[in-house]
Structure 1
Amino acid sequence: MTVGMGSHQSSAMKNDEWLTPPEIIEALGTFYLDPCSPGERRPWDTAAVHYDFRDNGLSQPWGGRVWLNPPYGREAAQWLERLAAHGNGIALIFARTETDMFFRHVWEKADAILFLRGRLHFHYVTGERAKANSGAPSCLVAYGANNVRALKQSGLDGRLVTLRKAEAL
């Protein structure tokens, strides 16, 4: 199992570990924990604390505000379930709104979704931006009122959909 700042599978790119574009992290503010970080070699930090595949972030304690760019594929549901239970974080996932994972862990549990305009260009673990886009639309999923505010104030291009009536949104 390859785990990193989001493992994205693309037959065109022949790679399964992709980094979140740094402008997304910068737009969302400071995070305490990234439980799906690449190994020791990362060109930018996404949080104060990083767990990589050797740490098995699902089995570690989670605290504070979490940034989650989970491994894409079947295992993504486990990560979203954990983030929903934690209740304080933002996840970057493909906007596959019809899937069981999206219904169970986003539509039913999230506070808001920012559907990003266009398709992202992820980065290699070296920091180099991939030439090809991600191959699918992406969205940012917020759990907790502070994360809904972060999406609203991010300046990222897209459409925000509020799902719950959290206090102080």
Structure 2
Amino acid sequence: MNAGLMFSSETDMWATPQDFFDRLNIIFRFNLDVCALPDNAKCEHYFTPDMDGLAQPWGGVCWMNPPYGRGIGKWVEKAYRSAKDNGATVVCLLPARVDTRWWHDFCAKGEIHFVKGRLKFGAAKDNAPFPNAVVVFRPTLSDVFI
């Protein structure tokens, strides 16, 4: 992926850097990649665009690097609701778009960890032109007992 493509709207799919995922997987032990392509899936179990991850139930410990286009808010809401309503833990790699509605409505309610520097996605020659954050949604005691 070249820098020109990163600034264009030709794609909204950004393959997760393997070493970045591996470090998170040591901590979380993911069992499901909720939005992947067969050639970049990070877990044995994954949903492809044809499977429509938004229409599937999410459970266990999920990895989510969603398409970064206009529909990203739907993915973030699904991650939030899957944790709150279904008891899933969903770890999301997201562009740090702190000025958006979806960020305030959902990410602000999760655990936010800003990524230092800029990631290099997939086979890209250059780093991404945007900052990222890892946002974790998981059940809380108030979800269970209150």
Q: What's 1:131 paired with?
A: 125
- Which secondary structure does the structure 1 equivalent of 2:19 belong to? helix
Query: Which residue number corresponds to residue 105 of structure 2?
Result: 104
Choose the corresponding residue for 2:81, options 74, 85, 92.
Answer: 85
Question: In structure 2, what residue type is equivalent to 1:122?
Answer: F
Q: Which has the higher helix share?
A: 2
Q: Distance in 1 between matches of 2:50 and 2:24?
A: 27
State whether structure 2 residue 58 is matched by structure 1 residue 59. no
1:41 aligns to 2:35 (yes or no): no
Aligned length: 130
| CA pair 12-81 structure 1, distance change in 2 beyond 3 A | closer
Distance 1:16 1:80 in 2: 15
Cα deviation, 1:80-128, whole Å, max 9, x if unaligned, reads: 1011011111101111111111101111x21x111011111000xxxxx
Any stretches of 5+ residues in structure 1 without a counterpart? 1-8, 124-128, 147-164
Q: What is the TM-score with the length of structure 2 in the denominator?
A: 0.79
Mapped pair 1:117 → 2:116:
yes
Q: Is the 8 A contact 1:31 1:48 kept in 2?
A: no
Q: Where has structure 1 moved over 6 Å in runs of 4 or more?
A: none
- SS of equivalent to 1:24: helix
- Distance in 2 between residues matched to 1:60 and 1:13, nearest whole Å: 27
Q: Output the CA distance in 2 between the equivalents of 1:26 and 1:59.
A: 27
Change (3 A) 1:114 1:89: same
Aligned-residue CA RMSD (Å) = 2.4
Q: What is the rounded CA distance, in whole Å, between the counterparts of 2:43 and 2:39 in structure 1?
A: 14
In the alignment, residue 85 of structure 1 is paired with which amino acid? R
Going from structure 1 to structure 2, the CA distance change for 1:117 and 1:145 (only over 3 Å counts) comes to: farther
TM-score, normalising length: structure 1: 0.69
Measured against aligned partners, the alpha-carbon deviations of 1:26-79 in whole angstroms (never above 9, x if no partner) come to: 1112211111101x333xx41231110110110112111110001112211101
1:24 maps to which of 20, 30, 35: 20
- Partners of 2:104 and 2:54 in 1: CA distance: 21
